[in-house]
Amino acid sequence: MGSFNNKLVGDLKKLWQLSKKISLPKAPDSDEAWDLLSQRLDIEDRLEVSSSLPSKSKLVWSQPKPRLALAMALVVLAVVISPSLYRLIDQNTLMANRGQTIEETLPDGSIITLNAESQIAYGSAFGKGNRNITLMGEAYFDVEKNNVPFTIQAGEATVTVVGTEFNVRARNDQIEVAVNEGIVKVISEDSTITLTAGQMTSFFQGDFPNLFGSLPFQGYPGWVQNQLMFHETELLFVCQEIGRRFDVKIELMDKNLEPITVTGVIDALDIKSVLSTLTFLTQRNYESKDGKIIIY
């Protein structure tokens, strides 16, 4: 489905560019053109109705004008669709699937690393007067210093910087911003906090951001360096992150295991070593069954 969408957007972009090369005649007066179209369709519909009646009929009732209605519907549809179609054509999208991370250099020279099951989108004018990005999922940013603010929309939260290194996670209605270098401004619900190097914030969508505290580990969050870092993190969330990282399905045999917290650094080179470390930290075991990993 992703490749189909990419092909569709590519084809639309080509059509958009080709349309710019076509020389169009001067546009007629829109009111005059509409009046002429309405009159013509009205006349044709009346003629069709009158020709279908006996010649002695003196009174002709005008039937509903289907073509006029269709024309009006097309005009309304064009007005509604055009802005959305333009935004679709104008968007650049980068997506990392489950079990995949992607590093990309943006037009302004900033480097972004997308974590698994994450996506960013930005307009074609990015780097030419604005540096606005929309994020779904998690990404690490190394922002090129520039007078133009670098702005990330993550759910209902807005993160703004000029030049810095930081991580943004927007999953399950929760926002987390961790700063490794520079200064980051986080805005949500008309409330703003400023984070400096070594600080982070974590809050739910719709809440006010607050200073969560210092980074729990050096180099947090670590996934860029093939590490998984957890600090008093519930086991259910830990399993979701591991599953996303390696594109595997992990289940807990008992719901009572969900609130167990995990603290530590796990080398994420292969799934087997990760599971071994996880079961050591939680004093639990695991087994593979029916294509799933079950922790008990």
Is residue 245 classed as helix, strand or coil in its secondary structure? helix
The pLDDT, as a whole number, for residue 10 is 63
- Domains identified in the chain and CATH numbers: 2-14+29-52+63-91 (no CATH), 97-214 (2.60.120.1440), 226-295 (3.55.50.30)
What b/e string do you get for 61-93 counting C-beta neighbours within 10 Å, with b at 16 or more?
eeeebeebeeeeeeeeeeeeeeeeeeebbeebe
Average pLDDT for 24-41: 57
Amino acid at 227: Q
The residue with greater pLDDT, 69 or 107, is 107
Cα dihedral 229, 216, 256, 136 sign:
negative
Say if residue 3's pLDDT is above 60. Answer: no
Average pLDDT for 49-58: 46
Average pLDDT for 137-150: 95
| Cα–Cα distance measured from residue 174 to residue 120, given in angstroms and rounded to the nearest whole number | 17
The pLDDT, as a whole number, for residue 61 is 44
Average pLDDT for 179-195: 93
The residue with greater pLDDT, 36 or 251, is 251
Average pLDDT over the chain, rounded to whole?
Answer: 82
The predicted model scores a pTM of 0.70
The residue with greater pLDDT, 16 or 122, is 122
The pLDDT, as a whole number, for residue 91 is 87
The pLDDT, as a whole number, for residue 212 is 80
- 56-60: list long-range contacts, CB under 8 Å, 24+ apart: none
The pLDDT, as a whole number, for residue 37 is 57
| Cα–Cα distance measured from residue 239 to residue 295, given in angstroms and rounded to the nearest whole number | 9
| Cα–Cα distance measured from residue 186 to residue 160, given in angstroms and rounded to the nearest whole number | 7
Average pLDDT for 148-173: 94
pLDDT classification of 60: cutoffs 50, 70, 90: very low
Average pLDDT for 7-27: 57
pLDDT classification of 114: cutoffs 50, 70, 90: very high
Say if residue 89's pLDDT is above 80. Answer: no
The pLDDT, as a whole number, for residue 31 is 61
The pLDDT, as a whole number, for residue 53 is 47
The pLDDT, as a whole number, for residue 4 is 47
Say if residue 58's pLDDT is above 50. Answer: no
